[in-house]
Structure 1
Amino acid sequence: MTCPIRIGLQLQPQHQPDYGVIRDTVLRAEDAGVDIVFNWDHFYPLTGDPDGAHFECWTMLGAWAEQTERVEIGALVTGGGYRNPDLLADMARTVDHISGGRLILGIGSGWFEKDYDEYGYEFGTKGSRLDLLAEYLPRITARLGKLNPSPTRHIPLLIGGGGPKKTLPLVAKYADIWHSFGRLDTHVEKSEILAGRCADVGRSPGDIERSTPWPGTDNAASYVDAGITLFTVGLGGPDYDLAPLVEAIGWRDDNSAPPLSGLA
């Protein structure tokens, strides 16, 4: 599979109490030519005032599904332990239909302890949260196959993380998109491990699109050479200055064919 270069925006819904500003930013990003608009699945800000203004992830995705026309949408990423997995699958199917087939189901094991403590979830350990994700992924995929009506398409599953022992085997088995973090050499090293995990389950590593935060125009070509084609610019509130996103979109347009539609 040859993936086009794509640019995403992670619109971080923190420190902006006026949802209208968030709505307007999504529209401006779509008009600017972004391929995907993500939010994140947290209940409190990750930077600045820890009790600052914040909005919930999945209800917001439903609103984005209605207000947008072209872009794909999703969470980067859903906290795996925050919702019953069968319910999450049903939520994803519903947003998929509302959007006309433009949802990406991003998921990870979760890590922000305040989310867990304040909302009554068991934080456990990194290992226990990954074990829970491993338990939930087959339930999510099974439920997606049972729902009536079924999803409009195979909903792409994005898994975030890079642990070689637990996360990468899940990426190899379930993911359509792998979102990794860290330096380029770290990605290359983990990509080689992922190839081995794909071989274990009889899958080609080329079937998995590679994603990472936007590294800047000076470094992006090196990431593409390493097989990464999806880059996401993160922007937090209260002001959402789209200048870095516009720069990334311009780089995409100068270095690739026109991006594929989210409906492709």
Structure 2
Amino acid sequence: MTVDTPVRLGIQLQPQHARYPAIRDAVLRLEDEGFDIAFNWDHFFPLQGDRDGLHFEAWSMLGAWAEQTERIELGTLVNCNSYRNADLQADMARTLDHVSAKGGVGRFIFGTGSGWFERDYDEYGYEFGTRGSRLNALADALPRIEARWAKLNPPPTRDIPIMIGGKGEQKTLRIVAQHADIWHSFVRPDELGHKLDVLRRWGDEVGRDVSTITISNELNRRHADLEYADALHDAGVRLFTLGVSGPDYDLAIARRYLAWRDARNG
């Protein structure tokens, strides 16, 4: 929400419909071409195309990315809180922070959310519950994660940025106001003003200045809609994300947004 924050561009390499060498190559291309963040997602099955197609697990993959890259930040867009104990999530995040710290400071971003894809829950034996119960679990987990980071030896190399996804006004934005460094959503430009007002009200209630929270949003993945990107920017978005799927991880559209990022940053 700080207007002078530079524009950043993260690419979500969706770990579906591709062999791992293609994913490995795509991460290297992202770093070489100057993208800011490489994301994956935290699911166990493809979300598009053949629902039983090729797919890989998120956190294991991030360890490989942390070793193979030098500069690009990395994370999951977003982790599902339901799938792992809160203290374990904290330790996994701290470990990735250290593995990625090629220059002494880690590059891991802890993106997280309450979860939504019911097939993941059913097939892997997690209780799906309700949207409300999953959000309550996320609200309970984040203080535990932050407390565990304070206890771990060695501690994280930096204050690991917390990115929270979702747009619900009664629970999600309160959690964002309490814990997030980055708020991610798919909210349209004409809706963002209202959501940011809600976020400010929650910030007042929990005693936090939310103007330091970076606003993140999704770009059009079918074609480079630069007017839409401009509208998101004018509404306060400073971190832009774009999903790219296997098997080829075509970056043509992403490169157009990369040029737009560079023009915006002058």
Same fold (TM > 0.5): yes
Could you list the runs of 4 or more consecutive aligned residues of structure 1 that deviate by over 3 angstroms after TM superposition? none
Q: CA deviation at 1:202?
A: 1.9
Quick check: 1:180–1:187 contact (8 Å CA) kept in 2?
no
- What secondary structure sits across from 1:90 in the alignment? helix
Question: Which residue number corresponds to residue 234 of structure 1?
Answer: 243
The share of aligned pairs that are identical, in percent, is 59
Separation in 2 of the partners of 1:210 and 1:203? 16
Where does structure 2 lack aligned partners over 5 or more consecutive residues? Answer: none
- Aligned residues: CA RMSD: 0.9
Give me the whole-angstrom Cα distance separating, in 2, the residues matched to 1:176 and 1:146.
Answer: 21
Q: Structure 2: how far apart are the matches of 1:202 and 1:123?
A: 32
User: TM-score scaled to structure 1, two decimals?
Assistant: 0.95
2:254 matches 1:245:
yes
| Distance in 2, Cα, partners of 1:151 & 1:93 | 5
Match of 1:13 in 2: 15
Amino acid at match of 2:83: Y
AA aligned to 2:197 is: E
Aligned to 1:105, the other structure's residue is in SS state strand
For 2:17 and 2:229, the matched residues in 1 are separated by: 29
Name the structure 2 match of 1:29.
30
Please say if 1:90 is aligned against 2:91: yes
Paired residue type of 1:164 = E
Alignment partners' CA distance in 2, 1:241 and 1:39:
15
Q: Offset at 1:187?
A: 2.0
Q: How far does residue 182 in structure 1 lie from its aligned partner after superposition?
A: 2.8
Q: CA deviation at 1:83?
A: 0.2
Partner residue, 1:113: 118
Query: Which segments of 5 or more consecutive residues in structure 1 lack a partner in the other structure?
Result: 258-264
How many aligned residue pairs are there?
256
| Post-superposition offset of 1:189 | 1.4
Task: Give 3-state SS (helix, strand or coil) of 1:74's partner.
Answer: strand
TM-score by length of 2: 0.94
- Residue deviations 1:47-97 (CA, integer Å, cap 9, x gap): 111111100000000000001111100000000100001001000000000
Say whether 1:153 aligns with 2:168: no
Equivalent positions of 1:17-96 (< 5 A) are 18-96=19-97
Instruction: Indicate if the aligned counterparts of 2:167 and 2:187 stay in contact, CA closer than 8 A.
Output: no
The alignment partner of 1:145 has SS state of helix
3-state SS in 1 of match to 2:70: coil
Residue 126 (structure 1) aligns with = 131
Counterpart of 2:205, as a letter, is D
- Residues in 2 aligned to 1:227 and 1:201: alpha-carbon distance in whole angstroms: 22
Offset, 1:255: 1.3
